[in-house]
Structures are given as structure tokens and as C-alpha cells.
Amino acid sequence: MRVIVGSTPPGHAHHRGGDLLCVVRALLKKIRRRVLVGDRVLVGGVDWADRRGMIEDVFERRAEVADPPVANVDRIVLLFSLDQPQPEPATLTRFLVEAESTGIPFLLVFNKVELVDDKTISYWRDRLKSWGYDPLFLSVDQKSGLSALEEMLEGQTTVIVGPSGVGKSSLINALRCNQNISEEDPIHKLVEQNSKWFGEQRVGTVSKKSGKGKHTTRHVSLLPIVGGGFLADTPGFNQPSLMKVTKKGLAETFPEIRKMLAENEPSKCLFNDCVHLGERGCVVKGDWERYPYYLQLLDEIKIRESFQLRTFGTKREGDVRYKTGVMGVKQAEPRLELKKHRRVSRKKINQSILDDIDDDLDEDNWFEVKQHSRKR
């Protein structure tokens, strides 16, 4: 992995930092502590002449995006294109849900505006507005609308995600080219010395037949951009996994539901932890565009959670704990996983399902639920 080093120890005056090519210490792999793009790491055994070293530890992460895996991200840019490929509402929803679930601020951007007429642009603007979003429209090819985005990304670490072929790598190239990197920024000065960081991201074509991209970008990489800050290019994919989204959390990722619940304060839904299937006393009415997507995703997550419950005895993913390590910095490490080969007893599964139902309900609601389950 390539690690940027801000400064070197005293006595190494002739090496002004730069970057090191590092291997990851075997122990980290053994305890399955993954090193992600964007991680701050502890490097040891440095050979300054050869610019090599070893990643010995990983510092605590401020934020983490699971899909694609990038650490310490300040912002997500969700990129789609208005044509070639056209936006698909179901895919768009999946990406939006995934971005909402990270809790990291994100920006929805539509590229290739020059391929469509004004009517199409306002159609998508209005449609997205009814979902609760205010997207940015631009064209990388025509270099229009880029400066608004540029300003927002300054000094931050941003990860750009979206389907294949929408122009993620093209956008990154546009934000990196024809500009001088700020002289004051020490990291950028260091980066300047290494031409690898200046290579353009490869751009692919979109298939004429299907209108889809060809998965040109294969790796996640963090690239320095204008005005300081980094932008992570990622491979395009159509199916964010939604692994971190829970059955209870899903509603929170839809602005439409958040709005309906806020408008109905303080009454809310009859059930305390209603999952909004339109039961009696549910205020999330079924007459909004994305309700079918909500129900579809809820089904998918339910299936996944019950699978996780059966396989691991827990539905909670990626538990980490913190300990203070070398240099007094808190570091995250994964909790030990249950041994996979040990079968979870049926009794234990039933107990955890009961516990789950228990947290879902107030005592007053018990009767309702029994009624419900009898009907089914």
C-alpha cells in the first residue's frame, strides 16, 4: 500500500517525507484488522533510501464507508448521469439508502447534462425534490457546473460512488487537471514529487447496446485534488450491499418517511417501533412514489437479518471495540467473532428472536401483535 508521510524524523533532513511503499504487518492480517484506503497508520521499519516500510497499526477511524471500503471520509459524492446510462429509480434509491446509512454528508450529482434537453433536467430535478433531495447538475465534457462542486470539495476527503460509466473517473480527472496545486499545502508539495499521483484515471466507454459502463476502474484510490483535499475514485457497481442498514434503520434513510413522522409529531405511529407496513395506526401512508422500493428493501433486509441470526447468532455487523495502543492513540479492533463452526443451538436462536421481539414492543402492544400473528 502507498502511504503518504507528512514529515520525517530529525536526522533525515534530506528526505522530505513523500510516500512509502508499505507491506502490512502479518499480525494485522491475522487479527483481521483491515487497512483501508484513507486510514491513518503507524509505519515502522522505514528504509528512507528505498522508500519502503511496514504498516504496523491502524489508528481509530473517524468514519468509514463500507461499500466501497474507505476510511475517514468527510463527504460522499453520489454520481449518476442523465443519459448513457440513464438513471434508474430503483438503483438510485439503493445508492441513496446506502449513502444515508453511513451518516456521512453526501451530495447527489447528475452528469452528462448536455446529452438531454432542459425538460429532462427539470423532470429529474422535480422528481428528486419530491424524494427530498436537491441534486447538482453538471457536464464534465462541457466543463459546466464544475466550480460549484469544486468549492464544496475543497480541503475534504471525498469518496465518489455511482454506477459504471456515469463519469466518476472523468470527473476526477477534470478536478485534478489544468490547475496548480496549492503551494502552501505540505501534503500536496510532497505529492508533487511523485508522478504516480499525477497519472490520469483511466476512462472507459459506455456500451452502445446496453447504455451501461464497462467497469473500467478496478481499484479504490485516493487522489489529491485542487485546493487541497482528496477524492477517492471507486469502481462503479450497481448494487450497494446495504449491509449496515437494519430493519429498524431503513425508515431513517428515506427523507419522505422522516418528513411524515416529523409532521405527525407527537402522535407518530401506534407501534413504537413500527416498520411502516401500513398497519393500523401507521402514519407513513402508502401514497408516495418510493414506498414500493421501501417495502422491497425492507423485505430484503429482513431476510438478511434472519440469515445472520441463524448463521452467527447475532444480527449486529462489524462490532468493534477500542483500546489504547502504541503512541497513546485509541485504536479500533474487531470483537472476536463467534466461531463459525460452532452451531448455534435452536434454543439460543429462539431466545434471540424473542429478545428481538421484546425490544420491538411495549407491553401495551403485546395483544396487538398476538392478534396479528394469528391472522397470518
Ligand X SMILES: Nc1nc2c(ncn2[C@@H]2O[C@H](COP(=O)(O)OP(=O)(O)OP(=O)(O)O)[C@@H](O)[C@H]2O)c(=O)[nH]1
In the complex, which residues of this chain contact ligand X (CB under 6 A)?
111-112, 114-115, 139-141, 164-170, 203-206, 213-217, 235-236
Residue 352 host element (H or E): helix 346-360
Which of ligand X, Zn ion, Mg ion, none sits in contact with 282, Cβ below 5 to 8 A by type?
Zn ion
Which of Mg ion, ligand X, Zn ion, none sits in contact with 152, Cβ below 5 to 8 A by type?
none
Residue 18 host element (H or E): strand 18-24
Residue 69 β-bridge partners: none
Among the listed ranges 79-87, 144-152, 161-169, 307-315, the one in contact with Mg ion (CB under 5 A) is 161-169
CB of 223 to Mg ion, least distance (A): 12
Which of Zn ion, Mg ion, ligand X, none sits in contact with 215, Cβ below 5 to 8 A by type?
ligand X
Which of Zn ion, Mg ion, ligand X, none sits in contact with 364, Cβ below 5 to 8 A by type?
none
Helices (H), 242-334: 255-263, 291-312
Contact indicator for 253, 182 with CB cutoff of 8 Å: no
CB of 198 to ligand X, least distance (A): 17
Q: Name the residue with cell 451530495.
A: 107
- Taking CA atoms, 1 is separated from 4, 38, 41, 94, 205, in Å, by 10, 11, 11, 31, 29
Closest CA to 157 of 327, 25, 31, 39: 39
Contact indicator for 133, 255 with CB cutoff of 8 Å: yes
Q: Is 111 in the site for Mg ion (CB under 5 A)?
A: no
CB of 38 to ligand X, least distance (A): 19
Among the listed ranges 130-138, 168-176, 181-189, 302-310, the one in contact with Mg ion (CB under 5 A) is 168-176
**Residue closer to Zn ion (CB basis): 47 or 273:** 273
Q: Is 217 in the site for Mg ion (CB under 5 A)?
A: yes
Distance CA 219, CA 233 (A): 8
What 3-state class would DSSP assign to 206?
Answer: strand
**Residue closer to Mg ion (CB basis): 135 or 165:** 165
Contact indicator for 176, 226 with CB cutoff of 8 Å: yes
Which of Zn ion, Mg ion, ligand X, none sits in contact with 112, Cβ below 5 to 8 A by type?
ligand X
Distance CA 111, CA 149 (A): 12
What does the binding site for Zn ion look like in residue numbers (CB under 5 A)?
Answer: 269, 274, 276, 282, 284
Among the listed ranges 27-35, 137-145, 214-222, 340-348, the one in contact with Mg ion (CB under 5 A) is 214-222
Nearest residue to Mg ion, by Cβ distance, number only: 217
What 3-state class would DSSP assign to 366?
Answer: helix
Nearest residue to ligand X, by Cβ distance, number only: 236
Which of Zn ion, ligand X, Mg ion, none sits in contact with 115, Cβ below 5 to 8 A by type?
ligand X
Contact indicator for 176, 222 with CB cutoff of 8 Å: no
CB of 141 to ligand X, least distance (A): 4
The answer for residues whose C-beta is within 8 angstroms of residue 324's C-beta and 6 or more apart is 330, 331
CB of 247 to Zn ion, least distance (A): 13
**Residue closer to ligand X (CB basis): 5 or 231:** 231
First to last CA, the chain: 54
Residue 97 cell numbers, joined: 439508502
Distance CA 9, CA 23 (A): 20
CB of 344 to Mg ion, least distance (A): 41
**Is the peptide bond prior to 85 cis by the omega test (within 30 degrees of 0)?**
yes
Which of Zn ion, Mg ion, ligand X, none sits in contact with 18, Cβ below 5 to 8 A by type?
none
**Residue closer to Mg ion (CB basis): 75 or 168:** 168
Which residues make up the interface to Mg ion (CB under 5 A)?
Answer: 168-169, 216-217
